[in-house]
Amino acid sequence: MSGKATVIAPSNIAFIKYWGTRDEERVLPFNPSLSMTLTNCFSITTVEHLDDEGADEVFQSGRGGVLEAASATFAARVEEHLERLRRWAGIGGRFRVATENSFPMGTGMASSASGFAALTLALVRALDREVDTAELTVLARRSGSGSAARSVLGGYVIWPAGDGDEGGHAVAVAPAEHWDLRDVIAVLDGTPKLVSSREGHRRAPSSPYFERRLELLPERLDRVRAAIERRSFVDLAPAVEEEAIDLHLIAMSSRPPIFYWQPATLRVLAEVRRLRTSGLEVCATMDAGANVHAICSARDEPRVSEAIEGLPEVGSVIRDGVGAGPITVQEHLF
């Protein structure tokens, strides 16, 4: 039987970061992470299962939205995941896949979380399998992009570190309607990052501060969870910023060190601090890249966007916010 399905899955921004993999094969983290699922930054992926023999085909949306054969490195990562899911489903045949991102490539925005969540969900739907959400988060993460587990769900999502070989599955701690937070993304870096997250995860334990980070995290995670529960921005802001600095401190003190920041990163961080001191509800976080995510309340988003857009160091701004998670759509990419 052949089937086809298309899923839109959003990206997410972590308030408590996944940094360090204790089991690369199973994609098990050293620490729990917690993120907010976004809305406007998403991947849309169509998967078709074909009964005939032959190679999988992977297409990517190129200039002007025209589908073209995906680059060799991207296709290889997708094909590896297709093979994994074929084994999981216990089926033969091959897949045809096409994917498109709402955000332009080369903006330093990671597309793997949204991309692998969309790919996993579309494939499971194309096969018409009934799979519970817990298992879907595990399947998505097996792609090698751990953060894809969190993009399977909407709102505020935790991915526990889990003990043992299977680890934990991601769960929502609050739905999107609970708290209308926004993410104003200052896009600074048009070049692909020099050190992948995968390599960063490998190097993390070599930092002399990594053990200390793991000791401090449970209390920080509790603070973030409690702040979300109470919708308390004054409690959220310091914990989110502490965590962002901590991730980069580990990266910079890994052996060999990794520097994701650029001078413009510090410029935006200073602006976010200035805005907060002037009374706005805004704080900053950064993933494994130079871009700064200014997390803010819906009330203050227009002023935060305006201020960040006005900085000469900022290439462009993406205005995003918390969202309800992936959806299946009837319109396919091919």
Q: Give the residues lining the site for ligand DP6 (CB under 6 A).
A: 14, 17-19, 33, 110, 112-113, 145-147, 197-198, 287-288
How far apart are alpha carbons 307 and 8 in whole angstroms? 31
B/e letters for 215-243, b = 16+ CB within 10 Å, e = fewer, are eebeebbebbbebbeeeebebbbebbbeb
Closer to ligand DP6 by Cβ: residue 34 or 275? 34
Closer to ligand DP6 by Cβ: residue 49 or 101? 101
How far apart are alpha carbons 60 and 158 in whole angstroms? 30
CB of 101 to ligand DP6, least distance (A): 13
Closer to ligand DP6 by Cβ: residue 3 or 205? 205
Closer to ligand DP6 by Cβ: residue 33 or 107? 33
CB of 54 to ligand DP6, least distance (A): 28
Count CB neighbours of 148 within 10 A: 32
DSSP string, 194-241: SS-HHHHHHHGGGSTTHHHHHHHHHHHHHHHHHHHHHT-HHHHHHHHH
CB of 282 to ligand DP6, least distance (A): 20
CB of 90 to ligand DP6, least distance (A): 27
CB of 309 to ligand DP6, least distance (A): 24
**What count of residues does the chain have?**
334
Let me know the angle formed at the C-alpha of 149 by 145 and 152, rounded to the nearest 5 degrees. 125
Q: Using CB atoms within 10 Å of the CB of residue 255, give its burial: 0 to 12 exposed, 13 to 18 middle, 19+ buried.
A: exposed
Closer to ligand DP6 by Cβ: residue 99 or 147? 147
How far apart are alpha carbons 56 and 49 in whole angstroms? 9
CB of 114 to ligand DP6, least distance (A): 9
CB of 262 to ligand DP6, least distance (A): 16
Closer to ligand DP6 by Cβ: residue 275 or 292? 292
Closer to ligand DP6 by Cβ: residue 46 or 147? 147
